Amino acid sequence: GSANNNMEVKLKALECHFTWGIEKANIKHLDSLPEKLLDRIMKVCTPNHATYFNLLAFLSHLEENNVSALEYLHKAESALKNRQDDTELLVTYANFAWVHYHSGNMNNVDAYTGKRFQPHSSPSPLIKAWSFLRLGGLFYKGAKESFQKALKGDPDNASFNVGYAMVLYRLEWLATDGTERLAHTEGATQLRKALSLEPDNTEVMVLLALKIQNESGHESMKLIKEALRLSPDVPHITRYLSEYFRYTGINESLEVLEKALKLSVNSPFMNYQIGLCHKQQFIQMSEQKRNGRWVNEGQIKEKVELCIHHFSIAVELKPSNFHFRLNLAEIYGENYQLEKAMKIFTNLLKDESLNDSDKQQCYSVFGKFLYYRKKDIYGAVTQFKKAYQIPIESWHRNKAGKILTQIAEWCQARKKRVDAFDILEFLATEDKKGRKAEEPRRVEGNWQYFAKSLGIVQV
């Protein structure tokens, strides 16, 4: 009736997650977002807790869990209890009203839309801006606008400056994909300003370190060391490490990481990161050996064992992490502990929660294991095909295509023409599909290139 219409008009006029046009399908990493937000609430003392509780409430609503949504909103409310201004409370109450509305508790809707609102204050842009920053790429522009708007009213507010710096960093990072263009110096300048306002903010330190890594290696490394000293066990800090150490010498990386590990023996990411460094050195040594250079066998063995040691700890501490498990399986394979490797692979292949890019990696690494360690060529072909069939351009897909081409050549040489034909036809079909999709970069299919370079006749 008209009472209901009236209520809907009121609800739609409120500023909150329900009225900001947040579509579930646009949220990046929806599955892992709640855990990340809870991590942030637990590990860092920031004024953003109320924001994250509000966002968690909205995510609960998207999962149709109104009980959990209300719980989170109560937590947001108590996080805001001792605040001077009630502008963040307005957003929280608006979310309360909406959750009650969806639950059919109309009396409570009235309570939250009517009585408990202060007539003169307008909602703080803070919650919207920080929520958008956490929701992923499609919301960054909105986050940037919100922070800009907030900064106009309060140019030296630390929280707004930090958030604005982070969103600029993300937008500039996206710019390397060609999806977005921004002047590349603005982010660094803003990150420096943010750090001057919040000198202990280790996330800002790490982002600035990444931003200036190429131009100011020394200053950048100093920031990383300081961030790891202050936050050796904070997931949203340690997660950036692989990005940072990709461009640093392995020995230097290991030195820094080992020091940080002493402060955080129970950090799964730190152990994983150290494992990755040892893995990289192991791969280098194995390559040298394959190229006929003398390599100390004891050292190779030692590297593999260090990998196993650190990856095992990472898996033990965080068994749900796909990358930890895959790396452990792979390195068990390298160490010829085939049963242990097989057990992990089997579980990973059954895991329904993996997304396509994880699955692709898994098929490709498992394929290599079957091919090189188990000498099961046809089993490997099956896995490589599955990896290749997932239309995400990646190192693992290329690798799968490369080895499939090699196997086709091997079959050809042994007069197994049917098998060779089958593989090459598969690759050709997949590449044709790829060309029909709207990605113009994939003009020349993998297999054609390799077939040409290997002198294989096109079929």
Ligand X SMILES: *[C@@H]1O[C@H](CO)[C@@H](O)[C@H](O)[C@H]1NC(C)=O
| Contacts with ligand X, residue ranges (CB under 6 A) | 66-67, 70, 103-105, 124, 126, 154, 157-159, 211, 213-214, 247, 249, 251, 322, 355, 357-358
Structure tokens at 128: 């919207």
Closest to ligand X by CB, 61 or 385: 61
Closest to ligand X by CB, 157 or 242: 157
Closest to ligand X by CB, 107 or 214: 214
Closest to ligand X by CB, 70 or 308: 70
Q: Distance between CA 266 and CA 185 in Å, rounded?
A: 37
**Minimum CB separation from ligand X for residue 67, in Å?**
5
Distances (CA, A) of 43 to 81, 234, 237, 259, 302: 21, 6, 11, 20, 35
Residues with Cβ within 8 Å of 450's Cβ and at least 6 positions away in sequence, in order, are 401, 402, 405, 406, 456
* Residue 373 DSSP symbol: I
* Residue 457 DSSP symbol: P
**Minimum CB separation from ligand X for residue 186, in Å?**
13
* Residue 422 DSSP symbol: H
Structure tokens at 145: 């606008």
Beta strands in 269-371 (DSSP E): none
**Minimum CB separation from ligand X for residue 62, in Å?**
14
**Minimum CB separation from ligand X for residue 374, in Å?**
26
Residues with Cβ within 8 Å of 147's Cβ and at least 6 positions away in sequence, in order, are 125, 129, 160, 163, 164, 167
Closest to ligand X by CB, 345 or 426: 345
Please give the angle made by the CA atoms of 156, 19 and 135, to the nearest 5 degrees: 60
Let me know how many helices (H) and strands (E) the chain has, helices first. 24, 0
Are the C-beta atoms of residues 311 and 272 closer than 8 Å to each other? yes
Closest to ligand X by CB, 172 or 409: 172
**Minimum CB separation from ligand X for residue 234, in Å?**
18
Q: Shortest CA distance to 131 belongs to which of 95, 178, 77?
A: 95
Count of other CB atoms within 10 angstroms of residue 332: 25
**Minimum CB separation from ligand X for residue 198, in Å?**
9
Q: Distance between CA 363 and CA 382 in Å, rounded?
A: 9
**Minimum CB separation from ligand X for residue 339, in Å?**
25
Closest to ligand X by CB, 29 or 432: 29
Closest to ligand X by CB, 247 or 336: 247
**Minimum CB separation from ligand X for residue 126, in Å?**
5
Are the C-beta atoms of residues 282 and 300 closer than 8 Å to each other? yes
**Minimum CB separation from ligand X for residue 1, in Å?**
20
Are the C-beta atoms of residues 16 and 213 closer than 8 Å to each other? no
Distances (CA, A) of 161 to 7, 87, 113, 119, 155: 37, 19, 31, 29, 8
Are the C-beta atoms of residues 56 and 164 closer than 8 Å to each other? no
Closest to ligand X by CB, 283 or 413: 283
State the burial class of residue 71 (Cβ atoms within 10 Å of its Cβ: 0-12, 13-18, 19+). middle
The radius of gyration computed from the CA coordinates of the chain, to the nearest angstrom, equals: 26
Closest to ligand X by CB, 362 or 408: 362
**Minimum CB separation from ligand X for residue 160, in Å?**
6
Amino acid letter, residue 4: N
- Token look-up 């630390």 returns 158
Please give the angle made by the CA atoms of 132, 228 and 330, to the nearest 5 degrees: 85
Closest to ligand X by CB, 84 or 453: 84
**Minimum CB separation from ligand X for residue 13, in Å?**
21
